[in-house]
């Protein structure tokens, strides 16, 4: 049943640009990957980072800058952006990983604000305007990602779309594998009972640090990809709003579930798009939606569905 679900989702991903405006789907995929990366930390390790925009936006700037000014091909741009976010994650990690709960959240937020400040003030980031006109470039130097096809009169950026879709699939697969790996098992144990994990001889800080670096790297992948899709790295990408949004997406969809963050990201991005006509009321509507959802489905959308399945037949799970 699981296999069929994955196959159906994969096919839906392949068909999506013919059914929905491709740039919008690409935006969904970028934020979904971002939320999945975030979920590895909060859902499977129990760490609430409030600074993940630093990795998402930081990588967007690095990739945008290098593709625009150093002529990097898009795939190299995304790889370098990912590595840069991983390095930032490592630095954030060593500074915060010993802290617990709210202190961890506050320090990650403070560090992310430092990155925001750099993005605002540094000479190469374009200040308030951000980095604009990032070229989409030639994939492997061969395929023009900027090319637009015309199918039944509709303009479709199919090259770029499948580039983004493949990145999403790889990123999602890495997260899925990490969750279902020997490492992922220990992460769950730490989330469940940290002192017990320590008393069994696990070096909890190092394990958490690795989780943090993986999460930051893939958040970076998402941000780097986004900078190619929108041809823009902006202050919004590194702002605390974005850090908050990813928390919201993950909680809405169901923290600690594999598909929850994807569903949550789709919900939030779709709501923002649908409601954009209402201007600043969007925030209010999303806020209210969030409160209602959290009150009525505490486990998030996917979490509630899984709980229904779980509680029906007793015994064997997963």
Q: Which of 70, 95, 166, 200 binds another protein (CB under 8 A)?
A: 200
Told to check if 210 binds another protein by CB under 8 A, we report: yes
Output the smallest distance, CB 53 to another protein, in A.
24
Angle at 73 between CA 68 and CA 74, to 5 degrees: 85
* Dihedral sign of CA atoms 294, 296, 298, 304 in order: negative
Helices (H), 46-193: 53-69, 74-96, 101-121, 158-179, 182-192
Nearer to another protein, 296 or 311 (CB): 311
CA dihedral 206, 212, 214, 217 (to 10 degrees): -140
For residue 211, the minimal CB distance to another protein (Å) is 8
The stretch among 8-16, 70-78, 181-189, 234-242 that binds another protein (CB under 8 A) is 181-189
CB 107 within 8 A of CB 49: no
Q: In whole angstroms, how close is the CB of 178 to another protein at the nearest point?
A: 4
Number of other CB atoms surrounding residue 133 within 10 Å: 9
Q: What are phi and psi for residue 144, nearest 5 degrees? A: -80, 110
178, 224, 228, 293: residue in contact with another protein (rule CB under 8 A): 178
Spatial separation of the C-alpha atoms in residues 78 and 72, rounded to whole Å: 9
Torsions phi, psi for 214 (to 5 deg) = -60, -45
Asked if 298 interacts with another protein (CB under 8 A), we say no
Name which position in 20, 114, 166, 192 contacts another protein (CB under 8 A).
192
**Looking at beta carbons only, is 211 or 235 nearer to another protein?**
211
Minimum gap (Å) between residue 102 Cβ and another protein? 22
Q: Which of 47, 204, 286, 293 binds another protein (CB under 8 A)?
A: 204
Strands (E), 154-299: 154-156
Site stretch for another protein (CB under 8 A), options 61-69, 82-90, 114-122, 192-200: 192-200
Q: State the nearest-atom distance from the C-beta of 38 to another protein, in Å.
A: 16
Binding site residues, another protein, CB under 8 A? 177-178, 180-186, 188-189, 192-193, 195-204, 206-207, 210, 214, 315-317
């Amino acid at each position: 049943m699981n296999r069929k679900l994955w196959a159906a989702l994969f096919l839906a991903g392949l068909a999506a640009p013919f059914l929905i405006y491709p740039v919008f789907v690409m935006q969904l995929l970028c934020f979904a990957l971002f939320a999945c990366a975030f979920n590895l930390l909060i859902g499977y390790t129990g760490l609430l980072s409030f600074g993940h925009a630093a990795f998402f936006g930081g990588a967007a700037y690095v990739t945008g800058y290098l593709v625009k000014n150093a002529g990097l091909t898009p795939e190299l741009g995304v790889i370098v952006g990912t590595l840069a976010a991983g390095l930032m994650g490592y630095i954030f990690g060593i500074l915060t990983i010993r802290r617990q709960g709210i202190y961890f959240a506050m320090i990650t937020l403070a560090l992310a604000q430092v990155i925001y400040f750099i993005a605002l003030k540094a000479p190469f980031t374009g200040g308030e305007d951000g980095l604009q006109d990032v070229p989409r470039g030639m994939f492997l130097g061969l395929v023009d990602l900027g090319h637009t096809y015309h199918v039944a009169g509709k303009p479709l950026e199919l090259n770029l779309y499948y580039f983004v879709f493949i990145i999403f699939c790889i990123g999602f697969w890495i997260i899925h594998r990490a969750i279902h790996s020997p490492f992922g098992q220990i992460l769950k144990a730490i989330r469940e009972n940290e002192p017990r994990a320590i008393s069994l001889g696990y070096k909890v800080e190092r394990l958490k640090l690795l989780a943090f670096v993986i999460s930051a790297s893939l958040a970076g992948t998402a941000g780097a990809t986004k900078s190619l899709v929108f041809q823009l790295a902006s202050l919004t990408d590194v702002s605390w709003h974005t850090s908050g949004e990813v928390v919201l997406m993950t909680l809405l969809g169901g923290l600690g579930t594999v598909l929850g963050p994807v569903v949550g990201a789709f919900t939030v991005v779709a709501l923002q798009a649908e409601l954009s006509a209402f201007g600043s009321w969007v925030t209010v509507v999303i806020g209210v939606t969030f409160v209602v959802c959290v009150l009525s489905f505490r486990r998030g959308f996917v979490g509630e569905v899984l709980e229904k399945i779980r509680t029906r037949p007793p015994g064997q799970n997963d």
